[in-house]
Amino acid sequence: MNIAAKAVNVVEEAAAILSKLGVAEQLYKGGDMPSYSPVTGQEIARLKTVSAAEAAAKIEAADKAFRAWRNVPAPKRGELIRLLGEELRAAKADLGRLVSIEAGKITSEGLGEVQEMIDICDFAVGLSRQLYGLTIATERPGHRMMETWHPLGVVGIITAFNFPVAVWSWNTALALVCGNAVVWKPSEKTPLTALASQAILERAIARFGEVPEGLSQVLIGDRAIGEVMVDNPKVPLVSATGSTRMGREVGPRLAKRFARSILELGGNNAGIVCPSADLDMALRAVAFGAMGTAGQRCTTLRRLFVHESVYDTLVPRLKKAYASVSVGNPLETSALVGPLIDKPAFDNMQKALTEAKAQGGTVTGGERVEAGQATAYYVKPALVEMPKQQGPVVEETFAPILYVMKYTDFDAVIAEHNAVGAGLSSSIFTLDMREAETFLSSEGSDCGIANVNIGTSGAEIGGAFGGEKETGGGRESGSDAWKAYMRRATNTVNYSKALPLAQGVSFDIE
Ligand code: NAD
């Protein structure tokens, strides 16, 4: 396969998309931070980074904007997000293509990511008329007790390379309807898609009319700029998506100044295939979950427990699917598996496979696919049959490696399933109602996402998204995740002529 020969010119195409979306050239040409396309490994831009002082000034401006924006009625704030949804619909093909160029996602996944942005906009528009609190029974006569939800302040957003735009939109759509301002530190591996998203938001702002200046800011830079934001007292909430390593650094820094955090960290997701499973369905779900996005989703299926009674039926079919999957240029619609993001990702994959072999694993696939260009890293997804869950299996390697293990006992496999640090996504394939319900019960999967007869990846925006344990405990996107972006006040109003104290306390002064 000669990716280079087949590839369109990613440098020219990225520049053409940015220009079409209205991103100023000086933001991505002649700067100090390179951006590479994993499609060919070429440098596609050089971005201007912000200094710590410039980052602080942008946060200051966002704080000022927040103070005006919080007074705009929420349904009116929703109108801005409705316009953002419209602009995203118009720009879907371009932004999706840029995601493919800069993050290496196959075409349908690049477009799918933009669709996810559109979906969260629709959700947030409805939400802008539903930011309601409770009215609560009070023990005192002539009193009313209620909850109100207020805007919080500047929401800091840190994102990972693998969902370069959707995660920003999950946070931004909610944060803006909740009356906050946003400051975004995108991944240094995908800064162009960030500039493009900001330009699309600016189009919506131009159509909306009056929006306080500085309401949405982008900080181009590396993790040091992320740390500037994390330490800034004008940022009461940081929603940080990335590795558990990053969360271990960011979490304590935020806790130290009592700031809030939404941590969306690494996953080590598992599936269980039971004796009664619909194996055709399991096969398709496992193939997409484990090989899709070249294994670079937080929800990627990494561990598969297969009951001994179906192991010899399912696993050979799975190996066949692995052998035949098309690895190649993500800009060509025929490819199902695109490139790894960079060389360190490839090296980590090879290291994990070497370790797995040393621990008794049998590896199918995993080798580099000739790309015609030394700087692009395409690999055959790897399926590793492991005698038990040990060594590299217990850690997330951000690459397409699926560890397959045989099980006999249901209770024991649930314990194994939960015996890793991360707790993001999980799934069971069974037609046995007892197994399915046990998996979803308090003694079943310990993850933030638990599915039945659906794979681990590909969540919809309507549900709250996030995971437990080393995944960080944060929730964003749907359901009542919005509450994390607001502050709650409990209000008690006394409309009586007396002043009774709660719990019958008396404090009578002369
Ligand atoms: P990463 O942790 O290397 O970087 C993520 C972001 O954090 C980047 O913007 C980076 O600059 C920033 N960062 C890193 N250290 C920082 C620090 N000390 N202070 C402030 N910012 C810092 O992750 P990555 O390689 O871009 O992405 C892959 C990882 O992200 C995987 O572990 C994956 O599971 C995880 N992820 C999780 C979710 C989720 O929702 N749970 C979603 C996507 C990706």
From first to last of its 510 residues, what are the pLDDT tens digits of the chain?
545 545 569 999 999 999 999 999 999 999 999 999 999 999 999 999 999 999 999 999 999 999 999 999 999 999 999 999 999 999 999 999 999 999 999 999 999 999 999 999 999 999 999 999 999 999 999 999 999 999 999 999 999 999 999 999 999 999 999 999 999 999 999 999 999 999 999 999 999 998 999 999 999 999 999 999 999 999 999 999 999 999 999 999 999 999 999 999 999 999 999 999 999 999 999 999 999 999 999 999 999 999 999 999 999 999 999 999 999 999 998 999 999 999 999 999 999 999 999 999 999 999 999 877 889 999 999 999 999 999 999 999 999 999 999 999 999 999 999 999 999 999 999 999 999 999 999 999 999 999 999 999 989 999 999 999 999 999 999 999 999 999 999 999 999 999 999 999 999 998
Residues 186-201 have pLDDT tens digits of 999 999 999 999 999 9
Same domain for 157 and 30, yes or no, is yes
Tell me, in angstroms, the distance from the centre of ligand 1 to residue 92's CA: 25
Same domain for 21 and 159, yes or no, is yes
Ligand 1 pocket test, pick from 105, 246, 341 with the greatest ligand atom count within 8 Å of Cβ, gives: 246
Same domain for 156 and 170, yes or no, is yes
* 471 exposure class (CB count in 10 Å sphere: 0-12, 13-18, 19+): buried
* 405 exposure class (CB count in 10 Å sphere: 0-12, 13-18, 19+): buried
453 within a domain of the structure (yes/no): yes
157 within a domain of the structure (yes/no): yes
Run of H or E residues at 404: strand 401-407
Same domain for 326 and 350, yes or no, is yes
Residues 382-425 have pLDDT tens digits of 999 999 999 999 999 999 999 999 999 999 999 999 999 999 99
Three-state SS letters, 153-178: CEEEEECCCCCCCHHHHHHHHHHHHC
Cβ proximity of 501 and 485 under 8 Å: no
Same domain for 70 and 92, yes or no, is yes
Same domain for 285 and 260, yes or no, is no
Please identify which of the residues 87, 264, 416, 470 carries the catalytic annotation.
Answer: 264
| Residue 385 CA to its chain's centroid (Å) | 29
Three-state SS letters, 246-272: HHHHHHHHHHHCCCEEEEECCCCEEEE
Nearest ligand 1 atom to alpha carbon 472: 41
Same domain for 325 and 176, yes or no, is no
CA triple 206-207-210, angle to 5 deg? 65
Structure tokens of 132?
């309601």
498 within a domain of the structure (yes/no): no
508 within a domain of the structure (yes/no): no
Cβ proximity of 402 and 361 under 8 Å: no
- Helix, strand or coil, per DSSP, at residue 432: coil
Cβ proximity of 215 and 63 under 8 Å: no
475 within a domain of the structure (yes/no): no
Nearest ligand 1 atom to alpha carbon 245: 2
Query: What is the Cα Rg of the chain in Å?
Result: 25
Q: Which of 426, 489, 373 is nearest to 6 (CA)?
A: 373
Tell me, in angstroms, the distance from the centre of ligand 1 to residue 187's CA: 7
Same domain for 391 and 412, yes or no, is yes
> Which segments of 43-142 are extended strands (E)?
43-47, 135-136
Which residue is closest in CA terms to ligand 1's atom 11? Answer: 223
Same domain for 274 and 254, yes or no, is no
Tell me, in angstroms, the distance from the centre of ligand 1 to residue 158's CA: 8
Query: Is 0.85 topped by the overall pTM?
Result: yes
Q: Which of 222, 177, 238, 203 is nearest to 95 (CA)?
A: 203
- Is there an atom of ligand 1 within 6 Å of 226 CB? yes
Q: What is the pLDDT, as a whole number, of residue 371?
A: 78
Q: What's the rounded Cα separation, in Å, for the pair 14 and 35?
A: 11
Number of domains in the chain: 2
Structure tokens of 449?
């996402």
CATH number reported for the structural domain that contains residue 98 in this entry: 3.40.605.10
237 within a domain of the structure (yes/no): yes
Cβ proximity of 117 and 91 under 8 Å: no
Same domain for 359 and 403, yes or no, is yes
Which residue is closest in CA terms to ligand 1's atom 7? Answer: 242
Q: Which of 263, 248, 293, 345 is nearest to 456 (CA)?
A: 293
Q: What is the pLDDT, as a whole number, of residue 164?
A: 98
Query: Could you tell me the end-to-end alpha-carbon distance of the chain, in angstroms, rounded to an integer?
Result: 92
**Is 264 designated active site?**
yes
Q: What is the pLDDT, as a whole number, of residue 80?
A: 98
Q: What's the rounded Cα separation, in Å, for the pair 443 and 311?
A: 25
Q: What's the rounded Cα separation, in Å, for the pair 182 and 176?
A: 7
List Cβ neighbours of 140 (8 Å cut-off, separation of 6 or more): 494, 496, 500, 502
151 within a domain of the structure (yes/no): yes
Which residue is closest in CA terms to ligand 1's atom 42? Answer: 298
370 within a domain of the structure (yes/no): yes
Structure tokens of 9?
């010119």
- Is there an atom of ligand 1 within 6 Å of 185 CB? yes
Same domain for 120 and 145, yes or no, is yes
Structure tokens of 157?
């957003």
Which residue is closest in CA terms to ligand 1's atom 20? Answer: 226
Query: 462 — alpha (psi -120 to 50), left (phi > 0) or beta?
Result: alpha
Same domain for 302 and 246, yes or no, is no
Q: What is the pLDDT, as a whole number, of residue 372?
A: 75
Find the domain containing 372 and state its range: 269-461
Q: Which amino acid, one-letter code, is at 502?
A: A
CATH number reported for the structural domain that contains residue 288 in this entry: 3.40.309.10
